[in-house]
Each structure stands twice: as structure tokens, then as C-alpha cells.
């Protein structure tokens, strides 16, 4: 785990290192100084195991063998050498103050995994006796069903075979904690019974008490998330990336599950379209969404290349080192400022009660968050409009925070006020986004597509 922890618990600041974009593990290590300089204290690595015939990272054929694209140029090729490569990486990350989590895919395997033939009774079977491939129904159009024919769905129903399955994956977890992995991002965690996760997590912590478990629950029915309560997850991922800043669903989700586990937000993920692609490389959008993710949730995550305005999506089959792009902008300094502010502000590191203090139809969006550990509150003013600037009364804000004017402190990070960096050169960061335009009449000014963050200590 990272050293030099502050006096209050910190939420994770996660850099998602997509393994096949960098290639051999030695190249992962080369990125560590830059990741550390941006203020991340966790690295999340997508599956790096040997995949099945489809080549998908999430179609794991063998949990103990490395993806062939990641072994490097060395003549060494046995499993022990792969383990040493991983151990060297987690050690280097730890020396840089960064913990490493890996993707734990235990809801399915590759259809051509040896487990399918060795343990057919571990799997769900169709009526014709064939191993069942998982599927997903489009939420907007139930007639659209995607079947992942390269996958075989594991059966965790309560039956004698379940104990052997738990034993197998407990050993997988112990293997990787012994290699220095401090956490596990649990893919589609809601697809396993909470009681199964409870056993897996308890066994893992018997060997490595500080191990952290992160539940991926995106798009899951609420009841499927609820059943995870006894499991003991440390964090879960939320859907803040898809909020329109008007509907109630995100705040309802936050309130319902904040006592199950604190949440992690992200501006984009390896599954989504790149934000720089959607915005035609407008760095203002990338800064806006990163800052929102940082102030909304206990933790935040960012995929590799976000800081450089990469536009090509990450692909679980196709992505390779040759897909590394020329940056369309640089916001590494801004990312570092946001991460530093988050790390230093207690209320932003816990899932305290959070509510909207502006009306749903107001152009400005205001979120009030309260610490339950100490007398600190935050108020975030958001202008989601892409064209029009907005203003908010400073007196009204002090009322919201229940503080005197001299107790109001702004912690908004520096910004380059919407200008894109020239490709190949860092942006010249400027301080005080919007503050120079505040009116003498105590109005707080927000440019289009911007946030300002205020805190008060009582």
C-alpha cells in the first residue's frame, strides 16, 4: 500500500493502465514516474492473462499465464519468469508510492479454457447441454441482445460444486497478492452472489489483510447491487460519467449505496468512446469531466491517454503499442492539481451526504456535500452550459454552507480557461478559473463548461 498516508482516509486516485497499449511489462514500469507526478496512488491493470481464441482480454483461458503480447523480447518464457516480471512491476510501483490492482474476471472464462473440459460442472449449460455463453440486453431496445460467444458462464448457484470453484479462485487471488497486487477490480461483481464474494474476500485478507476489493456494478439492477452488502467490498464504481446534471437518478444512486461502499467516478473508461473524440479534442471537456469526477465521489479513475487527449478507443482485442497516438493536448499539470486538491481535502475523500441545493431547472447546478467524520462541507458550482457563462450569489453560497464570508474558501484548481494546448507542447496553466471575472457585487462567475469548488470548516 502507498506510504505517507494523511491523517484522514483517502479515496483512491486510479490510473487505468491498459496493458496491451504499452506492451511488455517492462514498458509499464517506464510510465511510473509520470503516473506518480500526476498524483495517482493506484494503478488498475486490465486482464493480462493468456486469452482464449478470440484474443479478448476478458476471455481468460489461463489465469496463471501471461498474454503473449506482454512477455517482452526476452528469451525467457516460462510462467515463473512472467511472475517475476509482474513482481518487479508491483515492487517498482510500490517504491513510487503507488499500489496496483488487477482485473479479477471470475464470472466467466474463455469458452476454450481448459477449465471447461476439466470442470464442466462449474458452468451454466443450455438445454442442449452446451456450455452457456453470457449475453446482455440493450436497455433502450430489449430486442437487441448481444451474446459473447467466446465466453463460458460460470455457475455460482448454491450447490456442491461451488466450494471447489471458490477454492480455485481463492488460490488465484492468493497467487497475485503474493506477487504484490494490493487490490482487485471485480468485473461484473453483481453477477456473483454476495456470499461468494464474502468468502473470497475473507480468505484473501487472511493472507494479505490490506487487500482492497473494488466492485464493478455499472448497469446492474439495484437489487443485484444490494445483494452485495455482506460481501465486504471497499469500493464500487458509479455512473457519474453519464449524468446530464438535471435528472435525479445519480444522486439517488449515490444516496442508496453510499453506506454499502464508497464510490469511484470516472470521465471515461476502457469501455467508452474517448471524450477527446466526442469533443473533437476540446480539452475544456476533458478538464470539466475529470474535475467533476474528482469532486463527486470518494475515488476517481482515469484511463491511460486521457491526459494527452487520445482519441482512439481502447479495444480488448485489437489495441497494441502501435496505436499510441500523438497527443491532441496536454492536461497533465491540470490532472496533478486536481489530484493534489482532492488528496488534501477530507470531505472529498468520503461518501458524505450529498444533495443538490439548486432547482433542477436552474442553469447553474449546485452540490452540497457534508463530511461525517469532521465539520467540513463542500459546495460545487457547475455550469454545464457549453456557450453561456453563469453567475451565483456569494451570499447565497455562504448560506448553503452555513458559514461566514471569511470562512468560505475556494479550492478550484488552476485552469487554462478553455484553450487547447498546441500538439507537442504543454499548456501554460493559469490560476483561478473564473475568479478574475467575479463581479464586485459578490457574484461568483462561472465560464461555460466549468466548475468552482468551495469548502467551509465549522
Q: Domain map of the chain by residue range?
A: 13-350, 356-457
For the chain, residues with pLDDT lower than 50 are 1-3, 75-76, 416-436
Which positions ≥6 away from 234 have C-beta within 8 Å? 183, 212, 213, 214, 261, 262
Q: What is the pLDDT of residue 35?
A: 98
Q: What is the pLDDT of residue 135?
A: 82
Secondary structure (3-state) at 61: strand
Go through the chain and tell me how many residues it has: 458
Give the per-residue pLDDT at 360: 87
Question: Which residues fall within 8 angstroms of residue 407, CB to CB, at 6 or more apart?
Answer: 398, 401, 456, 457, 458
pLDDT of residue 372: 86
Please report the pLDDT score of residue 79 as a whole number: 63
Closest CA to 105 of 143, 150, 145: 150
pLDDT of residue 433: 42
| Unique residue bearing C-alpha cell 455460482 | 156
C-alpha 450/C-alpha 434 separation (Å) is 9
Rounded Cα distance, 115 and 121, in Å: 10
The whole-number pLDDT of residue 139 equals 57
**CATH 3.20.20.80 applies to domain 13-350:** yes
Residue 296's pLDDT is 98
pLDDT in tens, 70-104: 987 554 455 679 999 999 999 999 999 999 999 99
DSSP secondary structure string for all residues of 71-89: S-S-S--SHHHHHHHHHHH
Please report the pLDDT score of residue 305 as a whole number.
98
pLDDT per residue as tens digits for the range 153-173: 999 999 999 999 999 999 999
The DSSP H or E segment spanning 269 is: none
> Has this prediction a pTM greater than 0.95?
no
pLDDT for position 192: 97
For the domain covering 356-457, report its CATH number: 2.60.40
Q: Measured in whole angstroms, how far is the alpha carbon of residue 193 from the centre of its chain? A: 22
Q: Looking at residue 335, what is its pLDDT?
A: 98
Cβ contacts of 247 within 8 Å, gap of 6 or more: none
Amino acid at each position: 500500500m502507498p506510504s505517507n498516508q494523511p491523517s484522514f482516509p483517502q479515496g483512491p486516485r486510479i490510473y487505468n493502465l491498459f496493458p496491451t497499449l504499452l506492451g511488455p511489462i517492462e514498458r509499464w514500469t517506464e510510465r511510473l514516474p509520470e503516473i506518480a507526478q500526476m498524483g495517482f496512488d493506484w494503478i488498475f491493470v486490465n486482464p493480462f492473462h493468456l486469452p482464449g481464441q478470440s484474443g479478448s482480454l476478458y476471455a481468460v483461458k489461463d489465469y496463471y499465464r501471461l498474454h503473449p503480447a506482454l512477455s517482452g523480447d526476452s528469451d525467457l518464457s516460462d510462467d515463473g519468469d512472467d511472475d517475476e516480471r509482474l513482481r518487479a512491476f508491483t515492487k517498482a510501483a510500490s517504491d513510487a508510492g503507488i499500489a496496483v490492482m488487477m482485473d479479477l474476471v471470475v464470472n466467466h472464462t474463455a469458452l476454450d479454457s481448459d477449465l471447461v473440459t476439466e470442470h464442466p460442472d462449474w458452468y451454466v449449460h443450455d438445454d442442449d447441454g452446451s456450455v452457456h455463453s453470457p449475453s446482455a440486453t440493450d436497455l433502450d431496445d430489449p430486442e437487441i441482445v448481444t451474446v459473447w460467444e467466446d465466453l463460458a458462464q460460470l455457475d455460482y448457484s448454491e450447490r456442491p460444486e461451488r466450494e471447489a470453484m471458490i477454492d480455485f479462485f481463492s488460490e488465484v487471488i492468493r497467487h497475485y497478492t503474493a506477487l504484490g497486487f494490493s487490490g482487485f477490480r471485480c468485473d461484473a461483481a453483481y453477477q456473483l452472489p454476495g456470499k461468494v464474494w464474502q468468502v473470497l474476500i475473507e480468505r484473501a485478507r487472511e493472507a494479505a489483510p490490506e487487500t482492497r476489493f473494488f466492485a464493478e456494478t455499472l448497469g446492474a439492477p439495484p437489487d443485484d447491487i444490494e445483494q452485495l452488502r455482506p460481501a465486504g467490498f471497499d469500493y464500487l464504481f458509479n455512473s457519474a460519467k453519464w449524468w446530464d446534471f438535471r435528472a435525479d437518478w445519480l444522486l439517488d444512486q449515490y444516496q442508496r449505496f453510499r453506506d454499502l461502499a464508497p464510490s469511484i467516478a470516472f470521465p471515461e473508461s476502457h469501455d467508452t468512446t474517448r471524450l477527446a473524440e466526442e469533443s473533437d479534442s476540446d480539452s475544456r471537456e476533458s478538464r470539466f469531466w475529470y474535475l467533476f469526477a474528482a469532486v463527486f465521489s470518494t475515488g476517481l479513475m482515469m484511463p491511460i491517454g486521457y491526459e494527452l487527449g487520445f482519441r482512439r478507443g481502447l479495444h480488448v482485442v485489437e489495441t497494441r503499442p502501435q496505436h499510441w497516438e500523438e497527443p491532441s493536448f496536454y492536461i497533465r499539470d491540470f490532472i496533478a492539481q486536481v489530484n493534489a486538491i482532492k488528496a488534501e481535502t477530507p470531505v472529498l475523500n468520503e461518501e458524505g451526504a450529498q444533495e443538490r441545493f439548486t432547482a433542477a431547472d436552474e442553469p447553474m447546478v449546485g452540490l452540497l456535500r457534508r463530511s461525517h467524520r469532521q465539520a467540513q462541507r463542500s459546495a460545487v458550482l457547475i455550469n454545464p452550459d457549453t456557450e453561456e457563462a453563469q453567475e451565483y450569489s456569494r451570499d447565497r453560497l455562504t448560506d448553503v454552507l452555513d458559514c461566514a464570508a471569511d470562512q468560505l474558501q475556494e479550492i478550484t484548481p488552476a485552469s487554462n480557461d478553455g484553450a487547447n494546448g498546441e500538439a507537442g507542447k504543454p499548456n501554460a496553466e493559469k490560476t483561478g478559473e473564473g475568479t478574475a471575472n467575479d463581479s464586485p457585487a459578490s457574484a461568483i462567475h462561472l465560464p461555460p463548461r466549468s466548475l468552482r469548488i468551495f469548502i467551509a470548516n465549522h
